[in-house]
A and B are shown apart, each in its own frame.
Chain A
Amino acid sequence: MEKMYAYAGKTLKVDLTRGKVHSERLDKTLARRFLGGRGLNGKLLFDMVGPEVDPLSPDNVLLVASGPINGLLGLTTGRLDVTALSPLTGIFGNSNAGTNLAPELKYAGYDNIIITGRSEKPVYLLIEDDHVELVDASDLWGRGIFETTDILKERHDDVKVGAVGPAAENQVLYGSIIFDYWDAAGRAGMGTVMASKNLKAIAVSGTGSLEVADPGRYYEAIQDAWLALMNDLGFKTQEHSVLGTAVCVGWGNAQGWLPTRNFRESYFEDADKISGEEFRDRFSTKEAPIPAGRACMSCPNRCKRYGIIRTGKYAGTRGNIEYESIAAFGSKCGVSDFDAVFHANMIANDYGMDAVSCGNMIATFMELMEVGLIDREHVDGLDLRFGNADAMVEAIHRIARREGRLGELGGLGSYLATRAISDEATYYTSNVKGMDSIACDPRGAKGFGFAYAVASRGSDHLRAHPVFEMIKLPPEVGKELFGNEEAVNLRKYGGKAEMIAWHEELGAITDSIGSCRFMHASYYAQYPVPEILHRVFNMKGEVHSIKYHEWISAATGWDISYEELLNIGKRIINVERAFNLRRGIRRKDDTLPERFFRDKVPKGPAKGEVFSRKMFKKLLDRYYELRGWDLKTGLIKKETLQQLELDDVLEILEKEGLVV
């Protein structure tokens, strides 16, 4: 049997209907073509879930996968991918969590888990190296994330735990899977799929070892990547590592893209009350001069901010908080009481639901109340005005428990809920393809905005994550990489299609090897950006960059070039597109919420900005050209699939008349 380096080498298959588990060898060809994580899961989802499958039926699958460089000391390699057909959007769904469960799964001997069917009664999946078992979870069902995790850690000697909470059990469509108390595979309702299978938790402990193909070369590659990060200007300023992602509150406000009052505005007058600095000063528990945050495995960025509310009515609330959840329950709902925002995030966390979708849902209710499209009856008498923190906190409880009309509607997410209310109401939800937008206003950041429109899981920044336009890179870098100096400019459109396409491809790789978005975009220590910067600034000395191709090649023993990596990225994106095409997605769906084309930003640094409809069309045409997709329909062209060696995908699409 040929040894597989870097990978653990096995796939765990769990059939919940029959209550059976077994392991088999990881499909090496599949791994070579899709690497792991999101790429591997995306292809499995395409193969296993047809267009007729209902997301909450036993026929949906839940796919959990680590990547080849998880657990191998490379920086920022603690990410895990969870993929399924999304109950929130009805299309491709996945979510990525930074969790110690990712490497642990590999130390236990498995690269990925394929979960099918539905258990008759609640169970949890216990993995202790070779010992794999489905254990009765009747006593855990209905319990919150914190309690469930406590119990499992106590029972099984500090295992790594991924659990679903009451929100997912009650079929809130955006239920999350929460790992070790705080680390969420938050988006797209992956937790709801897991709960629909009667699977309460996954608990893993592993004692095994991982080997790389060429240890000397590998160690050198990861040391070089380490040096690249240490030399990066962005990392040196320490913003993310000092304040965590919460740094974006101040950043977004200053640049005019902090969504405020349900995306009506992009500047929050009280941003300094919910900022990263405020979190550090009020809640942080670490007293060191550079607050040592908490980190995923072998990550020097340590972006997780841990804090505790010490006084007041929410005293005792504690946990990790991120920018997205601060914006969701803060500026988007017009709430400036940080205690309430922090507390809101933690109860959403304990219920196990996506803070982004939940915050957007409540903000949508608030705006609908204000414009008079719903009245108090719709929300069971709750005074859901912008800025009413108490009503917001109460709404979270009711949504998670699906109490009353508010709970019924709120659990659907802002897109389906507004559709259920009235046609007019749908104007007041910011979503693409049913997925709630994250905390960045497309009018203030054109590249981010465009990325929402083409992202495979709907309105989402994490497919591209084009921080490129936010960090004031020299225009020469935009010119060199994307053929247009405007690519580095937040408010300009030039080169943005190219910029997004490149970021998506590299992003697909990052998600598939088990690495983090911070390394792919945020710091730009990634090959070839440091090389270009070195040249542009006439810098002396040696250039260090994060070379994933070198890194993966040394780890796996495969010879993968930078160009091939981008090609694998394209392959991954096209498989996801193919999955979505089968579920009816076409060009008309690749768009932005109408509001961003129509309503000018009323105040703040981005005052007067809209997303130009004309420019959007131009960008989309260009993007389709780059992707090899049909301009009219948005279908994938035959030669594109052939080029990417996706013949099996082509065959299926051809049968269904979905190829041009």
Chain B
Amino acid sequence: MKKLVFNSDLCTGCRACELACSFINEGLFSPSKSRIRVVKFDREGVDVPTGCEHCENAPCEMVCPVKAIYRDEDTWAMILDPDICIGCKRCMIACPFGAIGFDEERKVFFKCDLCRGDPECVKWCFTKAVDYTDELHVDHMKQVKRARKEAAAKSRARGL
């Protein structure tokens, strides 16, 4: 299964993902209506993209009293159905990533649904700081990256 992954090492803070998201989902350009967000730390020179992780044991799904949040079996996305949602805000409070948004004008909640398996944000991310990729691949790359660091440290220690 594919996963949406965020990598702050690669993020330039351009926020194209925010605008692509709000445009595809709402037809508007508006960071406040985006499902994805880049938090900018300008003084530190760091930008951190953040959004829904589509957790395996999703707190939003567990706390929803009316089952407005459910798993899409095709894309494995956690979907929020605004027609069922009663606006109790429990999911918003439970989500550790702040990934549930509230549309003040329409009084409904919204969240990332992976654009039905073809996330628009990824298409606009030039550096792949936001990527939609195979979970196993993510895992494998982590191992390789970590191992690479260890190897480099070892060769340094041996004076190579």
Among the listed B13, B23, B40, which residue makes an inter-chain contact with A73, where contact means beta carbons less than 8 Å apart?
Answer: B23
Structural contact, A292 and B33, CB atoms closer than 8 A: no
Query: A46 vs B47: C-alpha distance in the bound complex, in angstroms?
Result: 40
Within 8 A of A (CB), among B119-148: 124, 126-127, 129
Is B42 on the interface with A (CB-CB < 8 A)? yes
A646 to B64, CA, bound (A): 62
Q: Is B28 an interface residue (CB 8 A)?
A: yes
Which chain B residues lie closer than 8 Å to A107 at the CB level? Answer: 30-32
CB of A298 within 8 A of CB of B14, answer yes
A320 to B46, CA, bound (A): 12
Q: In the assembled complex, which residues on chain A have CB atoms less than 8 Å from the CB atom of B47?
A: 294
Contact with B along A90-114 (1 / 0, CB 8 A): 0000000000100000010000000
- Please tell me if the beta carbons of B12 and A295 are within 8 angstroms of each other in the complex: yes
Bitwise interface map of B from 4 to 26 toward A, beta carbon under 8 Å scored 1, else 0: 00000111111110011011001
**Could you tell me the distance in whole angstroms from the C-beta of A122 to the nearest C-beta in chain B?**
23
Contact B9 A207 (CB under 8 A): no
Most buried by B among A71, A180, A212, A294: A294
A210-B28 contact given A288-B9, A292-B9, A297-B14, CB 8 Å threshold: yes
Report the bound CA distance from A642 to B38 in whole Å.
48
Interface pair B13/A295, CB less than 8 Å apart: yes
Q: Is B27 part of the contact surface with A, judged by Cβ < 8 Å? A: yes
Query: What CA separation (Å) do A290 and B104 show in the bound complex?
Result: 40
Query: In the assembly, what is the distance between CA of A149 and CA of B31, in Å?
Result: 22
Interface of B: prevailing SS? loop
Residues of B within 8 A of A207 (CB): 30, 32, 104
Q: Is there a chain A Cβ closer than 8 Å to B45's Cβ?
A: yes
Identity of the chain A residue whose Cβ is nearest the Cβ of B44 in the assembled complex: A318
Greatest chain B CB density within 10 A among A288, A290, A307 is at: A288
Q: B14 and A299: CB pair below 8 A?
A: yes
Q: How distant is the Cα of A149 from the Cα of B29 in the complex, in angstroms? A: 27
Q: Contact between A296 and B31 (Cβ–Cβ < 8 Å)? A: no
A210 partner, pick from B16, B30, B127, B129, beta carbons under 8 A = B30
A318 to B127, CA, bound (A): 23
Is A209 close to B, CB under 8 A?
yes
Q: Please determine whether A73 and B32 come into contact, CB atoms closer than 8 angstroms.
A: no
A149 touches B43 (CB 8 A): yes
Q: A308 to B46: give the CA distance in the assembly, Å.
A: 12
Q: Is the CB of B9 within 8 A of A287?
A: yes
Residues in A lying within 8 Å of B, measured CB to CB? 71-73, 100, 107, 146, 149-150, 180-182, 207-212, 215, 219, 226, 285-288, 290, 292-300, 302, 306-308, 318-320
What are 22 A-B residue pairs whose CB atoms fall within 8 Å in the complex?
Answer: A71-B29, A72-B19, A73-B16, A100-B15, A100-B40, A107-B30, A207-B104, A210-B28, A210-B29, A285-B45, A290-B127, A292-B9, A292-B10, A292-B127, A295-B12, A297-B15, A302-B14, A302-B127, A307-B45, A308-B45, A318-B45, A319-B45
Residues of B within 8 A of A (CB): 9-16, 19-20, 22-23, 26-33, 40, 42-43, 45, 47, 104, 124, 126-127, 129
13 more CB-based (< 8 A) A-B contacts, given A72-B29, A211-B29, A292-B9 = A73-B29, A150-B43, A181-B43, A209-B22, A209-B29, A211-B28, A292-B127, A296-B14, A297-B15, A298-B16, A302-B14, A302-B126, A318-B45
